[in-house]
Structures are given as structure tokens and as C-alpha cells.
Amino acid sequence: EKGGYEHFMIKEIMEQPKAIRDTLTGRLPDSGFEVNLDGINITKEDLQKLNKIFIVACGTAYHAGIVGKHVIEKLTRIPVEVDIASEFRYRDPIVDENTLTIVISQSGETIDTLVAMREAKARGSRTLGIVNVVGSSIAREVDDCLYTWAGPEIAVASTKAYTTQLICLYLIALDFATKLGTISYEEFANIRDEIKRLAEKVEYVLTHKENIQKYASEHFNAKDIFYLGRGLDFAVAMEGSLKLKEISYIHSEAYAAGELKHGTIALIEDGTFVIALATQEKLFEKMVSNIKEVKSRGAVVLSVAQEGNTDIENVSDHVLYIPRTLDILAPVLTVVPLQLFAYYTAVQRGCDVDKPRNLAKSVTVE
């Protein structure tokens, strides 16, 4: 049932190209100026009355939501707030009939997310679910439901659910933007064509997994690991750091790279391992400066950048390149080496990768 793999987690990491293709099937026509979102019946008029979108989720799904915020705001200019489900519910959120609440959940059964969704609904908000498990509680109760077609995810640490949640968020952002007229046809076609190349590019990243295994075998004894990034790279840093903590039990922090100097840079000492994400073209130079700051304090830096940005080699100990893509789509590629790094590190440390201590696949208590 593990298809020849040692663990479900690595099987599911390797399944991501297929999961992405399945999630895209029938939804993004090769031509035309529209997205076909089965399960979503939100019209132009519905969108025009929205003054805010909330994205509410837990854990990895919450991290996907942070990427979603950037993308939806960029393409539709509707303000988006992202919240942790267990916080949202109890802080009297400003939600009414002019709010759309998007909930993201692999299992569709996470009680924190389910009750947050009910709370939003009770306040008059329309609710949209991005869910993997067909017929789950959240899928049944939301007004509109877009399924991720990731297939069953068995490993507790989420991987292919995350990448397919990102795909759904891109599709939703494109759908809303075309309906609202906030995107030109050229920009739409450019994003569409690049989305269609993502599965193949993920495959390419996966064929280089032995490099990442090598870094894991060099750093698996680290006491703590920092993940730095700006913009969408910061969102991915949070997910990479969570993966590592969940399954390898190494302490780790994700930090907005520009913020480190305003707080915790003192924790970077000789030999501290830092994973620096520098995939965002617009922020590349700033990121290089931030890498220099940690290098000068003795950090050992593994950077992730888009192919061709070889300047990064001057400030890094190791560099992993991802195939070139649009900045907004880079998270789908950037997260893959981080999943692999967490996986190989946990294996090296002899951890129970698929069933990490104290975690459950789906949590049905608040």
C-alpha cells in the first residue's frame, strides 16, 4: 500500500505531480478567459458586494491560506485576512453578509475549522470550502466546495494536500479576478500557462531529491534551524519549519527575513543552520542582504533560489535551484525541497515519520 516506498510521507511527496494534475483537471481550459470551478457558484454580482475575504484553517492548511491571501489580494484587490481557526471563532471577528469565508481543510473534519465555519455562517457570511475528503463534514456544510484531488493522505504531516490547496487558491483567485475584471487577458493567460507547467517542474525538483538527502545527513543533529524568507517565501518558510518540527522534533523558527534584525538575530551563532528562501524575484536583492547578515554571524546557509540567480552562491554555503516560474506560483516548487529535507532529517534521526508523537491526522477536539 506504500507503493514500494518506506513511508507514506515520501510516497505522498512523490505523488504531488499527479495530485496537481488531478486538481487541475477540467478546471483550467487551454483557451478562453475563464476558469471552470465545479462546486462554486459565486457570481460577479456576489463578488462585487464583498468587502473582505477571510481565510480560516489550522496547521498546514493555514499556511496555504497565507499564500492564498497574497495571491487573491494581488489578483482581485479584495482585502483578505487569514486566521487560525481556533483564534477566529473566539475573538468576535468582523464578519457579515459582505464577507466571504474560505475554510481550508484536508480532512474536512477538523473541529476548530468546522466550528469557525459555522460561526462565520451564523454571522451571515457565505462559506467556501477547499477540502480533500469528499463528503466530509466541512464539505457538506459549506455553501460552495472546491475539492483538492490529492487522493488519500495517510501520513500525519501534510504534503500533497498543501500543494493542491495552493492550486485551488490560484484557481479561485483567477476565477474571481476574471469575473471582477481585475486581470487582463494577457496576465491571465500567462498565469494559466505557468500553472499548467507546475506539475512537470515539481517532477524536476523531485528528481534531485538525493541532494536534499545529503544536506539532511549533514545537518540532522542541529539543535535548531531557522527558515528565512520574504513575502511568499516567508509563508513557505512557515510551512517548511512546521514540517521539520512535526516529524523530526528539531526546534525551528520561521522568520520574515527583514524582521530578524529587529529581534532574534542574537540566536544566530557560529554554525547555526539557516535555510534561506530567495525565490521571489522582486525581493531577491533584499534577501541577499539578509543572508549576509546571518552569514556574518557564523550561520551555515542553504539557499533556495530560481534557476539563473547564481549571485546567491556568493553568500550561501549550499544552493538548491528550483525551475523558473512566476513569483506567485513559486511556493508550489519551493515547498518540495523543504518537505524532503524534513523527511530525510526525520528518517536520519530514527523518528516515526508517518505517525509523529502527539499528533493526529485529524483532530476532532477543540
289 C-beta neighbours (distance < 10 Å), count: 12
- Of the ranges 54-62, 88-96, 231-239, 266-274, which one interacts with ligand BG6 (CB under 6 A)? 54-62
Beta strand ranges found along 118-172 (DSSP E): 126-131, 144-147
249 C-beta neighbours (distance < 10 Å), count: 15
The H or E element containing residue 226 is: strand 224-229
Catalytic residue among 121, 196, 286, 361: 361
CB of 286 to ligand BG6, least distance (A): 30
CB of 362 to ligand BG6, least distance (A): 5
CB of 79 to ligand BG6, least distance (A): 24
**CB nearer ligand BG6, residue 162 or residue 341:** 162
Q: Which of residues 101-120 bind ligand BG6 (CB under 6 A)?
A: 105-107, 110, 113
Radius of gyration for the alpha carbons in the chain, expressed in angstroms and rounded = 20
Sheet containing strand 52-57, edge to edge, reads: 80-84, 52-57, 99-105, 126-131, 144-147
Site string for ligand BG6, 149-178 (x = CB under 6 A): -------xxx--------------------
**CB nearer ligand BG6, residue 213 or residue 362:** 362
CB of 361 to ligand BG6, least distance (A): 6
In whole angstroms, give the CA distance from residue 104 to residue 165: 8
In whole angstroms, give the CA distance from residue 288 to residue 303: 10
In whole angstroms, give the CA distance from residue 269 to residue 282: 29
316: three-class secondary structure by DSSP: coil
Does residue 363 interact with ligand BG6 by CB under 6 A? yes
Does residue 61 interact with ligand BG6 by CB under 6 A? yes
Q: DSSP secondary structure string, 5-69?
A: -SSHHHHHHHTHHHHHHHHHTTTS-SSSS----TT----HHHHHT--EEEEEE-HHHHHHHHHHH
Size of the site for ligand BG6 (CB under 6 A): 16
- Interface pick for ligand BG6 out of 298, 359, 364, 366 (rule CB under 6 A): 359
Does residue 23 interact with ligand BG6 by CB under 6 A? no
**CB nearer ligand BG6, residue 34 or residue 352:** 352
CB of 31 to ligand BG6, least distance (A): 34
361 is known as an active-site residue = yes
**CB nearer ligand BG6, residue 120 or residue 291:** 120
**CB nearer ligand BG6, residue 267 or residue 359:** 359
**CB nearer ligand BG6, residue 144 or residue 327:** 144
HSE, CB side, 13 Å, CA atoms: give it for residue 346: 28
**CB nearer ligand BG6, residue 99 or residue 158:** 158
CB of 85 to ligand BG6, least distance (A): 8
CB of 40 to ligand BG6, least distance (A): 19
**CB nearer ligand BG6, residue 307 or residue 366:** 366
Q: Which residues of 136-153 are buried (b: 16+ CB within 10 A; e: fewer)?
A: bbbbebbbbbbbbbbeeb
The stretches of 181-263 forming alpha helices (DSSP H) are: 185-207, 209-219, 232-248
CB of 63 to ligand BG6, least distance (A): 8
CB 214 within 8 A of CB 21: no
CB 47 within 8 A of CB 152: no
Does residue 65 interact with ligand BG6 by CB under 6 A? no
181 C-beta neighbours (distance < 10 Å), count: 9
Q: Which of residues 313-332 bind ligand BG6 (CB under 6 A)?
A: none
Does residue 68 interact with ligand BG6 by CB under 6 A? no
CB 72 within 8 A of CB 80: yes
CB 242 within 8 A of CB 60: yes
Catalytic residues: 361
Residues that bind ligand BG6 (CB under 6 A): 58-61, 105-107, 110, 113, 156-158, 359-360, 362-363
